Amino acid sequence: MTNAVAGLGLAPDAAMVTFPIEMFLPGSDITPVQARKGEFYDGLTAWRSAFAADGGSEAPMIRVEGASVEDAFSRANNLMLANRWGDGLPLWPPTRERVSWILAGTAQPRHRSLGTFPPRGGVTTVESCAIALAMAGGRPEYLPVVIAAVEAFLDAESGSAQLQAASGSAFPVVIVNGPIGAAIRLNAGFGCLGPDPQHPAGASIGRALRLLQQNLGGALPGIGTMANYGGLRYTNVVFAEDEANLPAGWAPHGTERHGFAPGTSSISLAFANGATNIRRRGAKKETPEEDALQGMYRMADFMRAPNMPGLAGYEDGTPGILMLPAVVAQTMAGLGWTKASIRQFLWEHSRIPAAELRRAGCRAWIEIDASKVVRESIDLDPWPITASPDNFVVVVAGGGHPTNSYWLQGYSPGVVGRPIELPADFERLLAQAERDLGPR
Amino acid sequence: MVTLEFHDPSGAIEVKQAHAPRVSALAGKRIGFVSNEQWQAYRMLPLLKALLETDFPGIEVLPIDAFPQGNAVIGSEETAALVKASGVDAVIIGNAA
């Protein structure tokens, strides 16, 4: 709540009366309201904010001393964790030197404002991105992606202001298109959603974004965010579409969804709150057509679940991101499938029978939704999990193996794209990476 | 001795406006509720209304549904305008969890 008021430009405190969660559940004992009525009365009469009504609070530099480099590093990490700036993993202290090194990744002025990070309202600058990327163990060539991702995150269309604090454990997914992916060692193949020392960029970029969400945005578990589980939030999800292996006629995601010209380096940001491997391949003597169709049914049937995440982005967002390995995409393309026909199939075959919606109590959620389009869908039978097939995101990524596809369940009011802006000497940074990390 | 100096990552906060001033007393005042209809607000807010009416002489407490209810609308400028136009001296907003 204090995040929410700070995000509105008020001082980061509020007159409120808090109770254990049990009191907010159906059938609860609400007599504590009477027992603590004086706190409500004080909130209306005697309460005063502890903060000044005007001006800003500028963050200072932090100084630690240690008997050795190791000791100083350890003390810095302990301090950052004690101040709730970390995530439980070791952090690289964002020294002036380190941050200045990271800032070589952009030509933008370091104090250029990108906005305020919701819901707490932390002022977010290019320097803020570099600080977070330094802490996350990142490199300067990753900074353009971080800046573009933050710009998209702070766009109201992303829905981030609500999702940062909501209970649904949504995490940002950043899909990168264009030549920058391979250039900075961002993964599009085997293990693209997990740790990979051969492709370290995604981990640092996603972790930097998470640190911004927490440290500037105030999304601290149980305090600033009610996300029950906070899944996948150490590094979020950051990967590149496997553009080099897109089938002929299959456009890159950034082109399809956001209109970026093919070959443009760009990001697309959505929110997900689930990650599931779907066994896509047949087991016996299926023909190619049967293998493809059965796999499509397996994916659509999985999506046909009345758990309502897609309500968040029913009109203009996405019910989720389907990832297909290139070997599967190319086989399917050879059989006549396109990204559009895949989306259409998923939309038709993931629709939920009205009786199942009713049984699961979903009608109530549809009735109270803020979106008129959602409310008007209530009597559709079967009920589509999203307003349009175009809302499905289909990307080609993953290891070159046909057995599995992957579904990132969406919880995403919007899908926001941004071009990636590179400094003029970007090649120098890539050359530096070659020296530091070896050849790609 | 090794000194390590690094940036505070929590950033600056801009405080642009003060919280609404409190009322000096509740007797004789006009109080409103803004409800998101969630988290048992339909039970707790009427209880609070009754308590205010019992404890403060001359207080006027508007019905819980005097203003638009629900998460979708309580944060809107339209609802804020309605609250301001109503002439209430103070507002209680609930519930969050």
Token digits for A332?
A: 């399917």
Q: What is the pLDDT of residue A54?
A: 53
Q: Give A15→chain B minimum CA distance, Å.
A: 9
**For A66, nearest residue in chain B (alpha carbons):** B2
List, in sequence order, every beta strand (DSSP E) within B1-97.
Answer: 2-7, 13-14, 30-35, 60-61, 90-94
**Residue contact A62–B96, C-beta within 8 A:** no
**pLDDT on residue A145:** 98
Per-residue confidence (pLDDT) for residue B72, from 0 to 100: 82
The Cα of A94 is separated from the nearest Cα of chain B by a number of Å equal to 5
Burial of A170 (0-12, 13-18, 19+ CB in 10 A): buried
Whether A192 and A202 have beta carbons less than 8 Å apart is answered as yes
Q: What is the maximum alpha-carbon separation in chain A?
A: 77
Contact B18 A117 (CB under 8 A): no
Euclidean distance between CA atoms A252 and A250, whole angstroms: 7
CB contact under 8 A, A66 and B97: no
Would you give per-residue pLDDT tens digits along chain A (440 residues)? 777 777 777 877 889 998 888 899 999 999 999 999 999 999 999 998 877 555 555 567 899 999 999 999 999 999 999 999 999 999 999 999 999 999 999 999 999 999 999 999 999 999 999 999 999 999 999 999 999 999 999 999 999 999 998 898 999 999 999 999 999 999 999 999 999 999 999 999 999 999 999 999 999 998 888 899 987 889 999 999 999 999 999 999 999 999 999 999 999 999 999 999 999 999 999 999 999 999 999 999 999 999 888 899 999 999 999 999 999 999 999 999 999 999 999 999 999 999 999 999 999 999 999 999 999 999 999 999 999 999 999 999 999 999 999 999 999 999 999 999 999 999 999 999 999 999 99
What pLDDT score does A329 carry? Answer: 97
Inspect the interface and report whether the beta carbons of A95 and B22 lie closer than 8 Å.
no
Helix ranges restricted to H, A216-335:
253-258, 288-303, 326-334
B:32-51 residues touching chain A, CB 8 A cutoff: 37, 39-40, 43-44, 47-48, 51
pLDDT at A20: 87
Q: Which residue in B1, B19, B31 is closest to A10 by CB distance? A: B19
pLDDT of residue A60: 72
CA distance A130 to chain B (A): 10
Closest chain A C-alpha to B95 CA, distance in angstroms: 8
* Chain A contact for B57 (CB, 8 A cutoff): no
CB within 8 Å: A24 and B95: yes
- Point out the residue among B2, B7, B43 whose CB comes nearest to the CB of A131: B7
pLDDT of residue B15: 79
CB contact under 8 A, B6 and A45: no
Q: How many CB pairs under 8 A join A and B?
A: 181
Residue B85, chain A, CB below 8 Å: the answer is no
CA atoms of A260 and A252, how far apart (whole Å): 9
Length of chain B: 97
Q: Is the pTM of this model over 0.95?
A: no
B13-14/A113-117 β-pairing: unpaired
Instruction: Give the one of B4, B7, B10 whose C-beta lies nearest to A72's C-beta.
Output: B4
Nearest to A30 among B13, B17, B47 (CB): B47
**Positive/negative CA dihedral, A423, A428, A433, A438:** positive
Contact A1 B71 (CB under 8 A): no
pLDDT at A1: 73
With an 8 Å Cβ cutoff, is B81 touching chain A? Answer: no
Query: Cα separation of B56 and B78, whole Å?
Result: 30
- Among candidates B25, B44, B70 on the partner chain, residue whose Cβ is nearest the Cβ of A33: B44
For residue A57, what pLDDT is reported?
Answer: 56
Residue (of A138, A105, A137, A110) closest to A124 by Cα position = A110
* B2-7/A56-57 β-pairing: unpaired
Calculate the CA dihedral of residues A269, A270, A276, A282 and round it to 10 degrees.
-80
Of B2, B8, B97, the CB nearest to A61: B8
Calculate how close chain B gets to A240, using CA atoms only, in Å. 28
Cβ-defined contact of B2 to A76 (cutoff 8 Å): no
> Using CB atoms, which residue from A41, A95, A132 is nearest to B6?
A95
Contact check, Cβ <8 Å, B44/A34: no
B72 and chain A: CB distance < 8 Å anywhere?
yes
Mutate to test the interface with B, among A24, A39, A150 (most CBs of B within 10 A): A24
Tokens standing for A376?
């008007």
Determine whether the interchain pair A37/B24 forms a contact, defined as Cβ–Cβ distance below 8 Å: no
Residue ranges for chain B with pLDDT beneath 70: none
B18 CB neighbours in chain A (<8 A) are: 10-11, 49, 53-54
For residues A9 and B18, give the distance between their C-alpha atoms in angstroms, rounded to a whole number: 8
The per-residue pLDDT for A58 is 57
